[in-house]
Amino acid sequence: MEKNTQKPTLKTKKYISSIFIIIVALFVGISIRIGYLQFVRGYELSTKAAAQQTKDKVISSKRGIIYDRNKNILALSASVDTVTCTPSEIKKEKLDEICRELSLILEMDEKDLREKLTQNSSYVIIKQKITPEQSEKIRNLHYNGIYLTEDAKRYYPYGSFASHIIGFVGTDNQGLNGVEMVYDKYLKGVPGRVITAKDSTGSDMPYQYEKYINAENGLNVVLTIDETIQHYAEKHLEDAIKQYDVRNGAVCIIMDAKTGEILAMATKPDYDLNSPFTLNDPKMIELVNSLTGEERNKALSDARNKMWRNKAVVDTYEPGSTYKTFVAAAALEENVVKVDDQFDCNGYMKVANYRISCHKTSGHGHLTFAQGVKSSCNPVFMQIGANLGKTKFMRYHRLFGFTDTTGFDLPGEAEGVFYTTNSFNTTELATSSFGQGFQVTPLQMIAAMTAITNDGIIVKPRIVKELIDDNGTVVRAFEKEEVRRAISKDTAKTVRELLETVVSEGTAKNAYIKGYRVAGKTGTSEKFPRNMGLYVASFLGFAPANDPEIIGLVMLDEPAGAHMGGQIAAPTFQKIFDDTLRYLNIDPQYTESEENEIEITIPNVVEKNVKEAEEILASMQLKCKTVGLNNSEDVVILKQIPTGGTVVPAGSTVMLYTSESADEAVMIPSVVGKSISEANSILANAGLNMKISGKSSTETDNNSYIGAQNPPAGEIAAPGTVVTVDILNSDVH
């Protein structure tokens, strides 16, 4: 049989080719589409698939606690609920009812609620951090698709206490200021999740299709702050603001002189951490409320930022004479002056074309360098500044840390402002020698003082002691950090001795504390623009002078009336340090004159007979006056004023009462502004006892006067009541 050898026609070939091209084109198209879906839209589509097939709920982690150094709680998170919904689970016929009920409970607009309840999403937050009462009402409604998720709300037990240190969090529990912000990554922890499979109708699948990822709690932060010392600083700073009419805020820092740990850092005015966005300055509230639109928004933002500013860290000021501490140290270190070098002060000094005055315009006359430090003489410091020269002066300014930040833990630390090499001329050198013409921060000042208290080595200030977990295990400890050596050990010792005389004999007498060797320097600087009557008063000191334990700085910005550091900052420092030194159980070191001044602890003679009580008091160098029957050995004392345990000067009078109805009343007179002898006479004539606070009466002189009294004038008290008086010295700067 003959084989068919007929070849395919051209038409057939074209047909086959067309089929092949179509198949290749389809294959290429499908490949491109698959590639596009796989690589370009793969993440998007897989996410959508997961959203359709699963429901993902976030479980908030517990934010860590913030403690003081003694583990007192300063910030913690309380459990609250957040309302969420899964729109696909909400029955349409119930939508109107749900909107109505939830709007009433949550105080939300129905329209906003409806938008949330109808979103194309598997997880929608309706409202965060609702009250327990709101949670209970929603729980009782039993609506499908509406859920209560456990959340946490930050709570600050002491309100405004240490507000500029602690900071606060936003609605999402993220730290927005202070330690809350800087240590947010440690405090916030890691949120958990519940992932639940859904069926085709959007309903939850059985339990076996659920995956639970545990939340990890945040670490707890232990601060170096001591709650008690912080309270002392805040209380006395508030009192100073009221007493001296301080109009632009105030600062107090207390630091461990050896380790750099901040024991207290108070900035006033402060704000309520539980309501950090609420303004507390009536003037600013009035200003903001008078504006509208963008002007109001900007004014509100500016007012809040000012309220949140930590003046101790962020703001700069001219240090005034407190800076003489470091000029003296530099001059002694460079051997351009000795303690007994001689100087003359006629009340001013001519520098270039300027006549620069001393605070004592009549002049200090002939004096040694040590006396120049004690009397805070500007011409003496201008001369030693000139002897140092511009290059060395600037080098020590840098060495003491005034041109850099300290690296402190709180946000926004300023660097300070000083002259450039080209702008630092003879006149600038002269004024800088007594602390004017440049800017520093309070934190830089107290950090620099560690060179004096720590044998020449600057220690970095820090506010966090350690991070611990919920079991109390230390995860990370922050140790003492030495920055650099600024001066020698011998120079530091000499400066400490000089600064002690400033308090015991010089311009800082109002910082004196009986039994404690306080050292330090006052400062008064006039703000720009000059001649406007705006001042900064400050005091920088430490104690005990021979072995410093704590350093303190008080800065009062724009006091009205009295404005010298020695007049207002030193006595404020004295009150804070008096409380703090006793609280820390630092042993007093009495001078011979202090030891000779006897104070008596009054014994309790209640229920003893009159004769026995009088004999006991007389044997202890105390006077007494008996009110009521006193002619029988059978008559006993029913009440005494002052009560047993009260400490009073020898020779004080104790009132003894033998009858409950024998009470007398005395209106306490005012002795503020009086001399000590005048005050003692006035109070004695009123039947009251006087006690001098902090200062020894043997340390007072003709320049001493009563600065404050407690109880205040006008109060009614029983005879024998002790009136405690604060002694101030008018010969200060």
Residues assigned a catalytic role: 321
**What would the DSSP string read from start to end of 212-278?**
EE--BPPPEEEES--HHHHHHHHHHHHHHHHHHTB-S-EEEEEEETTT-BEEEEEEES---TTSTTS
Q: What share of the chain is helix, strand, coil (3-state, %, to 5)?
A: 35, 25, 40
How are strands ordered across the β-sheet holding 550-557?
Answer: 262-268, 250-256, 550-557, 535-543, 519-526
Cβ count within 10 A of residue 572: 30
Six-digit token string for 445: 């000042």
Q: Which residue in 172, 182, 179, 185 sits closest to 216, CA to CA? A: 185
In the block, residue with structure tokens 């008064």: 524
Using the CB atoms, write b or e for 665-682: b if 16+ within 10 Å: ebebbebeebbbeebbeb
Tokens in use for 725? 């008086």
Helix (H, G, I), strand (E, B) or coil at 23: helix
Rounded CA-CA distance 209/189 in Å is 27
Distance between CA atoms of residues 291 and 268, nearest Å: 26
Q: Are 569 and 252 in contact (CB under 8 A)?
A: no
Round the CA-based radius of gyration of the chain to a whole number and report it: 37
DSSP 33: H
Rounded-to-integer distance, Cα 569 and Cα 507, Å = 12
Distance (Å, whole) CA 611 – CA 603: 15
Residue with tokens 């750099």: 260
Report residue 525 as tokens.
Answer: 């600087």
DSSP state of 39: I
Q: Tokens 């339990």 identify what position? A: 207
Strands annotated E in 307-422: 342-345, 348-351, 354-357, 365-368
- Asked if 121 and 89 count as a contact pair (C-beta separation under 8 A), the reply is no
